[in-house]
Structure 1
Amino acid sequence: MQQISLNDVSTYVENNIGTFHQKRIASLDGLSLTKVLKRKNPYLFKAKYVLTAEEIIRGLVDAHISSNEETIFGDWLEGLAIFINGKVYGGWKSGIEGIDLEFDNNGQRFMVNIKSGPNWGNASQIKKMKSDFKTAAKTLRTSNSGLQVVAINGCCYGKSPNPDKGDYFKYCGQRFWEFISGNAELYTEIIEPLGHKAKEKNDEFQQSYAQRINMFTKTFTCEYCKDNGAIDWKKLVEFNSSAS
């Protein structure tokens, strides 16, 4: 086991955080009004007494951003976790389906499935993860029958009061970062490096966001508003839900 310094973490963040910001802007720039209108519930907007095109557009775009950023940043944090573990325990990005990280410690092989937070999946998704763990364990034991394999569901934030889930262990927040690094304080120490150039990058994002809101609002007004400016709910619902 090797110690990792906060300078190592800061350097990694500085060299890689740009990827997160680039992907969030690219996702926004690639957003299509047609697609978001088709996958959102038009009845909900009516029930909430939404009256303006901009309100609808902001609701659509903000929902996309919220969902998409969680996924993008979750993937980025996975890379950070693998980097840190590689420095400390010599861990590596797994090539086995459903496994993100593998490393050896105290005579055990840990296979880790990394998620953003604790409430990441429904019953069928958790069942799939368990199946992936079993398949991965068989794969690993094929080449080393005596290998002691331990399955871990690691979550970058949150809490899991009962880590032992029977088939696997679930470590969240502080437990997860300590597990992969040996440092009980890492979960708070990484906060500052993550803010590297955050304001500068967010200013770029806000420009892209404003342009998308303006463009979508203009298109929506032309397509789904009546001559008097009122939203044409019939036309909007037909676009979203008509069988033809």
Structure 2
Amino acid sequence: MINDQKLKTRVGELLDVLYQKRFANLQKLTLTTLINKNPYLYRAIGVDDPAEFIDQLLAARVSSSDETIFGNDFLEPLVIWSARESDQHGDTGRLVSVGAGAGQDVAIETATAYLAISVKSGKNIFNSQSTKGQSTEFDALQARLKKLNKQFRPIIGYGYGRKRPNLESPVEKLAGQAFWQLLTGEPDYYLRIARTIGVFAISHGEAYKNAFSLKKSQLLREFMLNFVSESGEVMWDAVVTFNSSENRPRALKKK
């Protein structure tokens, strides 16, 4: 079993990195970047209040950014650390390394097998075309590793959720509890991760909420200057023109 204090320390370090990048991305966000989102969608669903429009644009942008940061700067490092740390608790003869091949994030090599693992933050990352591309990358990696004379196990690991086994596919797909147990041998490790994150959630979360609120107020004021009429209505022609006209419009007015 991985030591509780070690897990807490590592999760804390990774969350510090995650929030540093969240704050940095929030600070550099501009109205010009925000208006690049699909204006027709928000027009179609009836978003006419300026504050609601900015709120939805900002939430969508931050959510997309958060998924990327979480996968790259929290999940993948935690996967590698967890697999390595478990070696110190009874898993002898295992070598854990950062994946060397395309489409491979982690490699776990034992005396008889080679596990090539591609890490995904969520189970809905792939469409059918990207799944085919992942399988091709695994095939190329297997061909290079034939000389090892070991069982080759291509695995797509999802940080949460669940996946049903597909006996027709050579690629294993493991999600949530099953994936974390493969890495550590602990059936409740996926719960320990959530509990440990909770230790830091309040302190990090409150500071970010305050920064988010200030950024939203700044962007709303700038939006009012450029895209809202004196009667308080969103000027959709101006929004769509700024987003999609062949000739780029003038620079936005600043407060």
Structure 2 length-normalised TM = 0.87
Q: Distance in 2 between matches of 1:164 and 1:194?
A: 35
- Deviation beyond 6 Å, 4+ runs, structure 1: none
TM-fit CA distance, 1:155: 0.5
Q: Distance in 2 between matches of 1:231 and 1:33?
A: 15
Q: Which runs of 5+ in 2 are unaligned?
A: 88-94, 248-255
- 1:179 maps to 182
Q: Distance in 2 between matches of 1:182 and 1:166?
A: 24
Q: Distance in 1 between matches of 2:41 and 2:173?
A: 36
| Inter-CA distance 86–165: structure 2 relative to 1 (3 Å threshold) | farther
Residues 108, 148 of structure 1: 8 Å contact kept? yes
1:218-237 aligned within 5 A: 218-237=221-240
Equivalent position amino acid for 1:35 in 2 = T
- Greater Cα offset, 164-173 or 42-51: 42-51
Equivalent position amino acid for 1:79 in 2 = P
1:20-31 aligned within 5 A: 20-31=18-29
Structure 1 length-normalised TM = 0.91
Equivalent position amino acid for 1:73 in 2 = F
Q: State which of 72, 82, 97 in structure 1 corresponds to 2:102.
A: 97
Residue 194 in structure 1 maps to residue 197 in structure 2: yes
Q: Distance in 1 between matches of 2:168 and 2:161?
A: 16
TM-fit CA distance, 1:153: 0.3
Residues 23, 72 of structure 1: 8 Å contact kept? yes
Q: Distance in 2 between matches of 1:223 and 1:137?
A: 56
- 1:122 maps to 127
- 2:54 maps to 57
TM-fit CA distance, 1:120: 0.7
1:3-23 CA distance string (max 9 Å, x none):
422332122112332011111
Q: Distance in 2 between matches of 1:43 and 1:195?
A: 38
Q: Which runs of 5+ in 1 are unaligned?
A: none
Residue 79 in structure 1 maps to residue 77 in structure 2: yes
Residues 163, 171 of structure 1: 8 Å contact kept? no
- 1:158 maps to 161
Residue 140 in structure 1 maps to residue 145 in structure 2: yes
Q: Distance in 2 between matches of 1:77 and 1:190?
A: 11
Identity of aligned residues (%): 28
1:2-53 CA distance string (max 9 Å, x none):
x422332122112332011111111111212112212x22222223332322
TM-fit CA distance, 1:108: 0.1
Equivalent position amino acid for 1:100 in 2 = D
1:53-100 CA distance string (max 9 Å, x none):
211111101001112212211221111111010122441111222111
Equivalent position amino acid for 1:55 in 2 = E
| Inter-CA distance 164–27: structure 2 relative to 1 (3 Å threshold) | farther
1:107-157 CA distance string (max 9 Å, x none):
10101000012111112211111111112222233xx34232110000110
SS at 2:108 equivalent = strand
| Inter-CA distance 243–213: structure 2 relative to 1 (3 Å threshold) | same
Counting matched residue pairs gives 239
